[in-house]
Amino acid sequence: MANEAENPEVSDDAAEGATAKKPAAKKKSVAKKRAAKKPAARKVTARKVAAKKPAARKIGTKKIDVKGLAEALGGSAEGDAPDAGSFVGKPIAVRAVAAKPKTVVAKEGKKTASREEYTGPAAKVTSLSSVRKSDVTYFLRQLIMLLKAGTPILRSLQTLSKRGEKANVRALVADITQYVEAGNPLWQAFDRHSRYFDRVFVNLIKASEASGTLITVLERVVASRTELELMRKRVKAAMFYPAILVFACGLVTWLISSFVIPEFKDMFSKADIEIKGMAKFLFDASDTVSSYWWLPLIIALALFVGYKFAVGRSQSFRLLTDGIKLRIPVMGPIVKGSALVELTRTMALLIRSGVPMMATLELTRSSVGNLRVAQALQGVRDSIERGGGMEAPLRKAAPAIPHVVTDMLVTGEESGRVDEVADQVADIYEKDVEILTGGLGEALQPIFTVIVGVGILFLFVALFGPLVELIEQLGSAGA
């Protein structure tokens, strides 16, 4: 106290120093609190970032264990950061934890689905049962009716996928609807089911969507499909009749060889009648048929499988066999007429729907079943690409393309009405096919009648001699 009184200046200075130290101490405490709070805030932020971006921190197939790294550096994940000088010059062991395999969700669902033919509801049914062409045509008719009534395309598809008559058709439409709902165009939805919608149909829908004429094109497609289906049914019915006749003749031959002729053979052998000439040939043939009746079936099956295999593998073999089909006496005109109807009907439909001429020729060539007839369009395409016309390549394709058809198409090309002329050609040959298929039964009846008559005559002549000799023996024994 005395000192303070004696040195008032010093006491004042000490008081000022004390007051100056207090704020400094407060600042240090505040700074320590902030320093203590900041790392926690940073850790929380780091945790959020790590939680949001786990995939970005992957290194190959491993990821860094943050907790192990903190422990290696001398601290804990939740404690204070270690001093920098504590680990200078020391090796740091970093533990690598195998990353869990991440289930990658394909965001490109549209592209993936477009590569596969069946990825939706249709996959459940198409593996068990198939949709017939007539069912697809009926679905298109219903779609046209809904669109004409003003129903949007997506709602129309949804309605047909729920209220269709057949389960397999509903599944097919449901798959198309699901693909369209994902934002894809309608033609791509049809293109995924190439088993039921061919390239011609898909390209027509694509062109109609671009031009806004979907209903018109669908009506044309349905009309064309209906006419072609009717023609195919007539041709199949015409083929069914001779197949039944051949089967009946084979069955009768087997029954006679297995049950009738052996009875005559036993009867003649018991009577000690010498069998020679035609009778011997008949009995030997009967033994062969009754013993190896399965051999013709095996041969027919082998030929059918070999033909399918060779046609699928060899283009030249298919070209040869399709040319032979056009020259068969009774069936050849029907096959040629059917191929010409397909060619001209498809060409007219594509041109009328706005498809370019080069694309029309390519699509028509791929849609015609007979390769010999379709090959003519490749020459027409090459000629038009070089700046020429249709006449020269079509003339070279004769007799697959008749000269009358060539004259009509060339006239349509000169007048700019190829689609109308092609439709007329299709109508003409469709009538011809109808007449030929209707008269096929009448044409085959005399042929099979002659075959059956020759067989019966041979049977009678072969057995006539031994029967006469048997009757003479019986007469002499009775006398």
pLDDT band at 34 (very low <50, low <70, confident <90, very high): low
What integer is the mean pLDDT of 82-93? 42
According to DSSP, the residues that pair with 402 across neighbouring strands are: none
Question: pTM here?
Answer: 0.63
Between 216 and 125, name the one with better pLDDT.
216
Task: Enter the tokens of residue 30.
Answer: 């505040």
Q: Which residue has the higher pLDDT, 164 or 363?
A: 363
Q: Strand runs (DSSP E) across 26-100, as ranges?
A: 62-64, 96-98
Q: Reply yes or no on whether the pLDDT at 37 is more than 50.
A: no
Q: Which comes out higher in pLDDT, residue 334 or 473? A: 334
Domain positions in the chain: 48-104, 115-197, 237-464
How open is the CA angle 423-427-431, to the nearest 5 degrees?
A: 165
| Sequence letter at residue 391 | E
How many other CB atoms are there within 10 angstroms of residue 6's CB atom? Answer: 9
Distance CA 391, CA 185 (A): 38
pLDDT score of 40: 45
Report the C-alpha gap between 436 and 231 in whole angstroms.
Answer: 11
User: Which comes out higher in pLDDT, residue 432 or 120?
Assistant: 432
* Residue 212 contacts residue 348 (beta carbons within 8 Å): no
For residues 402 and 474, the model is more confident at 402
The confidence score (pLDDT) of residue 129 equals 53
Q: Is the pLDDT of residue 387 over 90?
A: no
> Which pLDDT score is estimated for 42?
45
CA distance 320 to 371: 9
User: Residues 208, 353: contact at Cβ < 8 Å?
Assistant: yes
In this predicted model, which residue has the larger pLDDT, 129 or 367?
A: 367
At 97, give phi and psi (nearest 5°).
-105, 130
Summarize the confidence of residues 76-86 as an average pLDDT. 42
76-85: Cβ within 8 A, 24+ apart: 77/43, 78/43, 80/39, 81/39
Q: Which residue has the higher pLDDT, 261 or 478?
A: 261
pLDDT computed for residue 94 by the predictor: 39
Which bin fits 170, alpha (ψ -120 to 50), beta or left (φ > 0)? alpha
Average pLDDT rounded to a whole number, residues 104-130: 43
More confident residue, 45 or 240: 240
Per the CB < 8 A criterion, the answer to whether 172 and 178 are in contact is: no
Q: Which CATH class is domain 237-464?
A: mainly alpha
**pLDDT-derived band of residue 239, with 50, 70 and 90 as boundaries?**
confident
Q: Cβ distance 242 to 444 under 8 Å?
A: yes
Of 146-155, 232-241, 427-436, 456-465, the poorest mean pLDDT is in 232-241
Q: What is the enclosing helix (H) or strand (E) of 64?
A: strand 62-64
Please report, for residues 262, 270, 456, 465, the alpha-carbon distance to residue 283 in angstroms, rounded to integers and kept in the order given. Answer: 8, 15, 15, 14
Most confident range (mean pLDDT) of 184-198, 248-262, 307-321 is: 184-198
| Residues, the chain | 479
pLDDT band with cut points at 50, 70 and 90 for residue 446: confident
Residue range 200-221: average pLDDT? 90
Tokens 């939680």 found at? 51
pLDDT at 92 over 70: no
Instruction: Summarize the confidence of residues 333-357 as an average pLDDT.
Output: 90
- Rounded to an integer, the average pLDDT of 95-114 is 37
pLDDT in tens, 175-200: 999 999 999 999 999 999 988 998 99
Nearest to 192 by CA among 174, 166, 215, 219: 174
Residue 442: its pLDDT value, please? 77
Q: Which two tokens stand for residue 441?
A: 């039964």
Q: What percent of the chain has pLDDT over 90?
A: 24
Residue 22 clears pLDDT 70, i.e. is over it: no
Write down the pLDDT at residue 39.
44
Asked whether residue 151 carries a pLDDT value surpassing 70, the answer given is yes
Q: What percent of the chain has pLDDT over 70?
A: 73
- Amino acid identity of 328? I
Answer yes or no: is pLDDT of 467 > 90. Answer: no
Mean pLDDT of 315-334: 88
What pLDDT, on the 0 to 100 scale, is given for residue 264? 87
* DSSP state letter for 55: G
Residue 233 pLDDT greater than 90, yes or no = no
